[in-house]
Amino acid sequence: MSSQMTEEQRLATQGLRKLLDKTIEPEFIAHGDGFIPKEKMLGWMKQLAEFGLVNAPHPEEYGGMGLDWVTHLRLFEEVAYTSIDIGLPLVINTVVADLLIGGASNEIKSRYVPGLMAGELIGSVGISEPNVGSDVAAVGTRAVRDGDDWIINGEKTWISNGEYSDFFVCTCKTGEGELTHILIDREDHGYEVRGIPKMALNGQSTAQIFLSDVRVPVSNTIGGIGTGLKNTLVTFERARCHMGAWGYSLARRAMDEAIKYSQERIQHGKQIAGHQLIADKLATMATEIDAARLLALRAADMIDQGLRCDKECAMAKWYGTEMAVRATRDALQIHGGCGVTKDFIVERLVREAIIGPIPDGTTEIQKLLIARSLTGVQAFR
C-alpha cells in the first residue's frame, strides 16, 4: 500500500469533495442541529452512491464497484470531513452490506444488497442491549425456533440508523453460548423504534429497538446458526477502520478551521498563527492526523489482502478517535471565546469527537484487544 493516493483515488476524492462542498454541506448547515428526515438523508445517500459510498469495496455482481477498502476509506474521509451525521449512516450500511454478502441467502442478498449499494435502503445492526455493552457475548435477546420461524423477544439499544432502518440485523441468543444474526424486516416482521437524544450527532439516528414476539423465517438467518459472535468480530474490523477515519476526518476539519482562524486573528500585534504555542498545537494536530490516517489505511489494506487485522483495527480506532478529542479541543482553544459559540464549526466538532471513543468498542476495550494480541493472555473470560 502506498501512503500516497493513486490517480484514480485522487480524481474520485476531488469529485466527491466538490459535491460535498457545493451541495451537501450547505444543505446540511442550513438544516441546523436537529434530526435529518429519512427522505433528506436518502437524497444525500443516492448522490454519494455515485461516488462509491457505500458501494466501492463490494463486488460488482451485487451493485458494488469492486474496488478496495483503502479507496473506500479515502472516500469516507471526505464525507466525515463534512459531517459525521452523514458519515455514520454510510458506515452502518457498509458493514451491513458486508454481513449480507458474506452470509445471507441469495434471496436475501438480491432483496436488500442492491438497495444498500444504490443509497435507497437503510440497514441497522444491533448487538448492544441495556445490559450488554462491551461484553458482546452476553447478548440476551432470545430467538426461539417455532417450525420454520424464529420468535424473537428482547430490547436493543444505541442502534445507529434505527429510526431510518428498513431492516435490522439483530444479534440473538439462539442457545446456550450460541449467538446468531437474524435479519428482521421492519415492514414484514415489525419492530418498535424510539430515538435517543444525545449531546451531538442528533442529525442521524441512534435508537432503541423493541422486539416483542417478532416472527421471522429461519431463512432470514445470516451466516448460519451460531456464527453470530465470529461474524460480529469480522464486522468490528470494518467498522473500526471507519471509526479511526471518523477521528482523523473530524480532526482534519478542526485543524483546517483552526488554521484559517489563526491566520486571520491578530493579537499582540501579529497573527496568532505566529505565536509559538499556537504553532505547536497546529503542528501536533497535523502530525497526529497523518499518523491516524496511516494506521487506518494499513488496517484497510490488510482487509483487502484477506489478513487478520483485529489488532491493527483496534489501534486505528483507539488512536484515531482519542486523537480527535485532543485535536478538536485544541482547535476550539485556538478560536478563543468564538470557539464556544454556534457561529463557528469547532463547537460542533468537539461535541462529535467526544462520542467517537465509545461505539464499536470503547478505547479501554481496544487496548485490551491490542494487549491480548501482544501477550496472548486473555483479557476477557
Note the residues at the interface with ligand FAD (CB under 6 A): 92, 125-128, 133-134, 158-160, 201, 206, 355, 358-362, 364-365, 368
Q: Output the smallest distance, CB 264 to ligand FAD, in A.
A: 33
Q: What whole-number distance in Å separates Cα of residue 247 and Cα of residue 231?
A: 25
Q: Output the smallest distance, CB 224 to ligand FAD, in A.
A: 20
Q: Output the smallest distance, CB 153 to ligand FAD, in A.
A: 17
Nearer to ligand FAD, 105 or 362 (CB): 362
Q: Output the smallest distance, CB 171 to ligand FAD, in A.
A: 7
Nearer to ligand FAD, 57 or 357 (CB): 357
Question: If DSSP states are collapsed to H, E and C, what string results for the chain?
Answer: CCCCCCHHHHHHHHHHHHHHHHHHHHHHHHHCCCCCCHHHHHHHHHHHHCCCCCCCCCCHHHCCCCCCHHHHHHHHHHHHHHCHHHHHHHHHHHHHHHHHHHHCCHHHHHHHHHHHHCCCCCEEEECCECCECCCHHHCCCEEEEECCEEEEEEEEEEEECCCCCCEEEEEEEEECCEEEEEEEECCCCCCEEEECCCCCCCCCCEEEEEEEEEEEEHHHEECCCCCHHHHHHHHHHHHHHHHHHHHHHHHHHHHHHHHHHHHHCEECCEEHHHCHHHHHHHHHHHHHHHHHHHHHHHHHHHHHCCCCCHHHHHHHHHHHHHHHHHHHHHHHHHCHHHHHCCCCCHHHHHHHHCCCCCCCCCHHHHHHHHHHHHHCCCCCC
Q: Output the smallest distance, CB 137 to ligand FAD, in A.
A: 12
For ligand FAD, the nearest residue by Cβ is: 133
Nearer to ligand FAD, 66 or 140 (CB): 140
Q: Output the smallest distance, CB 207 to ligand FAD, in A.
A: 9
Nearer to ligand FAD, 229 or 358 (CB): 358
Contact 299, 317 (CB under 8 A): no
Nearer to ligand FAD, 12 or 243 (CB): 243
Q: Output the smallest distance, CB 262 to ligand FAD, in A.
A: 31
Nearer to ligand FAD, 47 or 153 (CB): 153
Nearer to ligand FAD, 82 or 160 (CB): 160
Q: Output the smallest distance, CB 10 to ligand FAD, in A.
A: 32
Q: Output the smallest distance, CB 358 to ligand FAD, in A.
A: 4
Nearer to ligand FAD, 103 or 356 (CB): 356
Nearer to ligand FAD, 81 or 158 (CB): 158
